[in-house]
Amino acid sequence: MKLRQAGLDTAREIWADYFLVADCDNLLTNQDVLWKMMMENKTIVAPMLESRAAYSNFWCGMTSQGYYKRTPAYMPIRKQERRGCFDVPMVHSTYLVDLRKEASRQLAFYPPHPEYSWALDDVIVFAFSARMADVQMYVCNKETYGYFPVPVRSLATLQDEAESFLHTQLEVMVKNPPLEHSSFLSLPPKQPNKMGFDEVFMINLVQRSDRRERMLRTLYEQELSCKVVAAVDGKALNLSEIESMGIKMLPGYKDPYHGRPLTKGELGCFLSHYNIWKEIVDRGLQISLVIEDDLRFEVFFKRRLQTLLEEVTTHKLDWDLIYIGRKRMQVDHSEKSVPNIHNLVEADYSYWTLGYLLSLQGAQKLLMADPLTKMLPVDEFLPVMYDKHPVSEYMGHFESRDLHAFSAEPLLVYPTHYTGEPGYISDTETSVVWDNETVTTDWDRAKSRKTQEQEELSFEAQNSDVLQSELENWSARDEL
């Protein structure tokens, strides 16, 4: 509080017009943020900051003791369902003070106002000071201005703090260029490794250099190395090439939402994964990680995945495939948790192949099913193979359906974008029907449920009995 007050005093001494408060782990990505905040013409105004959770740098309610109070007004502002500049009882972390305003002369961080009797907390002390000076605080959410990490718990270590801040940098890269460190800083070199996997495969279409560069930088920052696998561009395949590979469609398959056959994009996606399964078997790789190029990582990703892998190995779990990113399609009841292993459930019917672990035995089972002769989308094929697909007619074409499939709970990766969001592009769904290039498909426009965000699960469907690790408690997605 004394340091903040010293900064405020210095700004007044040099007759500064504005005083910007910004915590050192706040990342301002909008180059016009200062100008835009000045244009609001408020004594105290904060640009709303993004985080991985509901948490942000403002409150909409405050108790009589000066503490946070949850109100219905918060989430519509936080989600930008309402946009504008809103009067709120508290802003913190990053905000602009207009020192030209006469009322600003009464603002202080230290000492607290003579009538202040609450906890000695800098953000509450300053908010009380503003109230006593009759200065209204505002938060502006008209645009995306920057990002900051969710505060870690009191028992967190320096490593936890560092990984949380790293995750904030990764979140910035989803929609922005990477943030480069100052040329005046000397950082230790990164030492990427495969995290104990025999191989880490990252699937990427050659023409999607933007996704490739983002993923490679994201992996590098987490010190993860990978093998980039050139995805099969299904749109470039003609019928004669498809026939020469012995590919035949599963009899009777129709997309569950549109009633159409497989698209060329889905065909290419399947072949991309199929080629990796073949390489795993050909090279005899015992454990591999497969990821696609349009995902975002959860906080503490590397440590959580390492812990999961260690527990699976220690308890000698017989597994073939473990989803680390997916969309649950069976939402009527919960999935069965795995005894003695944290954050793992037996996978039920699921969509998406964002990321998964695959054992050598699992790859062998997938190839032995001879899927090219009865093809359907890869994220429909996998549930068939672990006997959890709701359409029994599809499963009837595959005699052996004994793939041992599990899923991380909660998930470790999510899509960068969902259907209908700005920046959403699907090379899989926006395509043409596999055997008729005159029939185009565009799930962007149709707003298909398949690529929409997972809907909130009912109480009965939540996997509430799964063993939770301490890291999960520190990575909660709430306001505080």
Residue 359, φ and ψ in degrees, nearest 5: -90, 165
Cα(269)–Cα(98) distance, integer angstroms = 54
DSSP bridge pairs for 305? none
Residue 247 near residue 374, CB atoms below 8 Å = no
* Alpha carbons 243 and 334: distance in angstroms, whole number: 42
Above pLDDT 90, what percent of the chain? 77
Distance, C-alpha 88 to centroid of its chain: 28
- Ranking 94-98, 114-118, 140-144, 273-277 by mean pLDDT, the lowest is 114-118
The pLDDT, as a whole number, for residue 447 is 47
Minimum mean pLDDT among 197-201, 449-453, 460-464, 475-479: which range? 475-479
Q: What is the 3-state secondary structure (H, E, C) of 175-215?
A: HCCCCCCCCCCCCCCCCCECCCCCEEEEEECCCCHHHHHHH
Q: What is the pLDDT of residues 430-453, one digit of tens each?
A: 555 655 565 566 544 454 556 666
Residue carrying structure tokens 């010190």: 223
The predicted pLDDT at position 58 comes to 97
Which one has a higher pLDDT value, 300 or 443?
300
| Residue 102 tokens, joined | 């006469």
Please give the pLDDT value at position 225.
98
Distance in angstroms (rounded) separating the CA atoms of residues 242 and 219:
34
- Provide the percentage of residues in the chain whose pLDDT is more than 70: 90
| Full DSSP string of 215-241 | HHHHHHHTTB--EEEE---GGG--HHH
Residue 273: count other Cβ atoms within 10 Å of its Cβ: 25
Report the pLDDT value the prediction gives residue 449, as an integer from 0 to 100.
56
Give residue-wise pLDDT tens across range 197-217: 999 999 999 999 999 999 999
- Residue 227 confidence (pLDDT) above 90: yes
Task: Judge contact between 324 and 355, C-beta under 8 A.
Answer: yes
Over residues 386-430, the pLDDT tens digits come to 999 999 999 999 999 999 999 999 999 999 987 656 654 556 555
What is the identity of the amino acid at 400?
S
> Peptide bond preceding 410: is omega within 30 degrees of 0, i.e. cis?
yes
Rounding to the nearest 10 degrees, give the CA dihedral for residues 34, 37, 39, 43: -120
The pLDDT, as a whole number, for residue 345 is 97
Q: What is the mean pLDDT of residues 254-276?
A: 88
Q: Which residue has the tokens 């915590």?
A: 23
Range in 95-99, 117-121, 187-191 the model is least confident about: 117-121
- One-letter amino acid at 50 equals E
Instruction: Give the three-state DSSP class for 123.
Output: helix
Is the pLDDT confidence value at 297 over 70?
yes
| Bridge partners, residue 249, by sequence | 375
Is 80 exceeded by the pLDDT of residue 105?
Answer: yes
Q: Is the pLDDT score of 476 beyond 70?
A: no
pLDDT averaged over every residue in the chain: 91
Distance in angstroms (rounded) separating the CA atoms of residues 111 and 104: 16
The answer to whether 345 and 336 have CB atoms below 8 angstroms apart is: yes
260: pLDDT confidence band, cut at 50, 70 and 90? confident
**437-to-110, 252, 374 alpha-carbon distances in Å:** 70, 20, 21
Residue 428: what residue type?
T
Region of poorest pLDDT, from 112-121, 136-145, 383-392 = 112-121
Q: How far is residue 412's CA from residue 302's CA, in Å, rounded to a whole number? A: 9
Select from 246, 279, 266, 269 the least CA-distant residue to 364. 279
Q: Which of 70, 18, 88, 23 is nearest to 49 (CA)?
A: 23
Question: How confident is the model at residue 426, as a pLDDT?
Answer: 58
The predicted pLDDT at position 30 comes to 97
**67-95 b/e with 16+ CB inside 10 Å = b?**
ebeeeeebeebbeeeeeebbebbbbbbbb
- Asked whether residue 112 carries a pLDDT value surpassing 50, the answer given is yes
Q: How far apart are CA 185 and CA 182, in angstroms?
A: 5
CA 119 from centroid of its chain's CA atoms: 35
The pLDDT of residue 154: 81
Single-letter code of the amino acid located at 377? P
**Cβ neighbours for 206, distance < 8 A, ≥ 6 positions apart:** 230, 231, 233
Give strand pairing partners of 405: 321
